[in-house]
Structure 1
Amino acid sequence: MSERTAQQKIALVTGANKGIGRAAAGQLAARGMTVLVGARDPRRGEEAAAALRAAGGDAHALTLDVTDHTTARAAAQRIRERFGRLDVLVNNAGVTGSGQVSPQDAHDQVPSSVDLNMVREVFETNVFGVIAVTNAVLPLLRRSPAPRIVNVSSHAASLALTGDPDGPFAALLPSAAYTPSKAALSALTVQYANELRKDGVLVNAAAPGFVATDSNDHTGHLTPAQGAAVVVRLATLDAGGPTGGFFGEEGPVPW
């Protein structure tokens, strides 16, 4: 590890080869962090890292499939060997379960007719994958003087918003996979925050908003860079910042 790297913060972003993850990686790199671009596909991960380096950032590809706990442990070992610690973890990798169909158009997620295998696959990435990666790198985060964990969620995770018959989500189809997985991620965020508060680890969930990505066939009205802004803000909180919260760019999101 070079002297320059020793002075830089080290950030890992999962699912960082495209969309919000790539935008967050780029913004963290622009702030002077060494960014590890987590991606299932090594080629796509290296292409994204190369693009960030071409833009002046310090970025490195890291092969990581959050549903494969072996790769999570291997990624943690690589980080330990090369950098010795981790300062920021952004759990961004996620799936809708409905291919390139936004949750509001996902007829296959209606609870009464949903395929349980699809629900399991969504939870495997959106919930269990977060646990696997977080636990794999937690010893490295504990070595940081200011560790931060950001779980990328969705406004759809809000029971208050989705449960309001006159609210902004009233017209959306009910979801038994994506939406509950993000609600579970909220609960998980709070529990990690409760456990790690005494250690100075700030753990929060971010709602990027309706961002144009592959998951909604690019129908969102926000750019990935706009969606990533709240993620980066939570990843760079000062010591007195919140933990166990749920935030959008507009401020706290109701549970």
Structure 2
Amino acid sequence: MTQTALVTGGNRGIGYAIAAGLTKLNYRVVIGSRSASAGADAAESLGAEAVQLDVADPATIVGAIEQLGDVDVLVNNAGVLFDRPLLESPQEYRASLAVMLDGPYHLIRAVTPAMIHQGYGRIVNMSSDWGAFSQGLGGPGAYGVAKAGLNALTLALSRELPENVKINAMCPGWVKTRMGGAGANRSPEEGADTALWLATLPDDGPSGGFFRDRAPMAW
């Protein structure tokens, strides 16, 4: 039976590379994108599907999951990056948390009942070493705050979810994308590798961890 994988922000960058990798592994891949046309174009190029999904809008999350049916693999990849200081822009602070913390929370709530019922699920949260206290919470604006919250959510939910529904966070490194910039030292495919590993973990794979290059990282 073909498994369904939903990749948010899968129309470009690391998300597109993850979607491409899962397509090659014969998953039914669905690209979730705020722009319906961008998602449709990306999906067509991969032989995948697309759904309009604004992770900052819980109503579109509910509608997207109702449209898709059961999801076996969820990759919370969508992200935003603002460079103004935290205290100068409450709007950007709210947007950062809405996209990179609240959105993943609502998506996880939407997909996990089916995962628990069928006894299988894989959730991958695209985080960053900028969200790690061990690395000093770097990055501009609220980016590191949101990613630190996503890391905390990952660990907390690993204690609530059954062992066969695995949830992990990962850092892709510095990747050449619109967000990462041209000076980055990794390709989107290199950034996607750990996400693909976590999305396809065997039954004895880890849960509640934080990884880079398939190796554990300190929170």
TM-score by length of 1: 0.82
Deviation of the 1:140 alpha carbon: 2.7
Deviation of the 1:161 alpha carbon: 1.3
Aligned to 1:246: 210
Aligned to 2:155: 190
Which of 69, 74, 78 lines up with 1:89 in the alignment? 74
Aligned to 1:226: 190
Matches of 2:208 and 2:146, distance apart in 1: 17
Deviation of the 1:250 alpha carbon: 5.3
Is 1:15 the equivalent of 2:4? no
**Given residue 210 of structure 1, which amino acid in structure 2 is its aligned partner?**
W
Is 1:147 the equivalent of 2:121? yes
Q: Name the SS for the 2:62 alignment partner.
A: helix
Is 1:121 the equivalent of 2:95? yes
The percent identity for this pair of structures is 36
Q: Is residue 86–residue 143 contact of structure 1 (8 Å, CA) maintained in 2?
A: no
Which of 58, 64, 80 lines up with 1:69 in the alignment? 58
**Given residue 132 of structure 1, which amino acid in structure 2 is its aligned partner?**
H
Aligned to 1:48: 42
Gaps of 5+ in 2: none
Matches of 2:46 and 2:118, distance apart in 1: 24
Q: Is residue 49–residue 61 contact of structure 1 (8 Å, CA) maintained in 2?
A: yes
Deviation of the 1:143 alpha carbon: 4.0
Aligned-residue CA RMSD (Å):
1.5
Q: Name the SS for the 1:151 alignment partner.
A: strand
**Given residue 157 of structure 2, which amino acid in structure 1 is its aligned partner?**
Y
Which of 4, 13, 18 lines up with 1:24 in the alignment? 18
Deviation of the 1:26 alpha carbon: 0.5
The structure whose Rg is larger is 1
Deviation of the 1:44 alpha carbon: 0.6
Q: Is residue 213–residue 219 contact of structure 1 (8 Å, CA) maintained in 2?
A: no
Matches of 2:39 and 2:31, distance apart in 1: 6
Deviation of the 1:15 alpha carbon: 0.6
Return closer, same or farther for 1:143/1:33 CA change in 2, 3 Å cut-off: farther
**Given residue 120 of structure 1, which amino acid in structure 2 is its aligned partner?**
R
Is 1:160 the equivalent of 2:118? no
Runs of 4+ in 1 over 6 A off after TM superposition: none
Matches of 1:144 and 1:227, distance apart in 2: 30
Gaps of 5+ in 1: 1-6, 54-58, 99-105, 164-171
Matches of 1:139 and 1:22, distance apart in 2: 26
Deviation of the 1:141 alpha carbon: 2.3
Q: Name the SS for the 1:23 alignment partner.
A: helix
Q: Is residue 6–residue 73 contact of structure 2 (8 Å, CA) maintained in 1?
A: yes
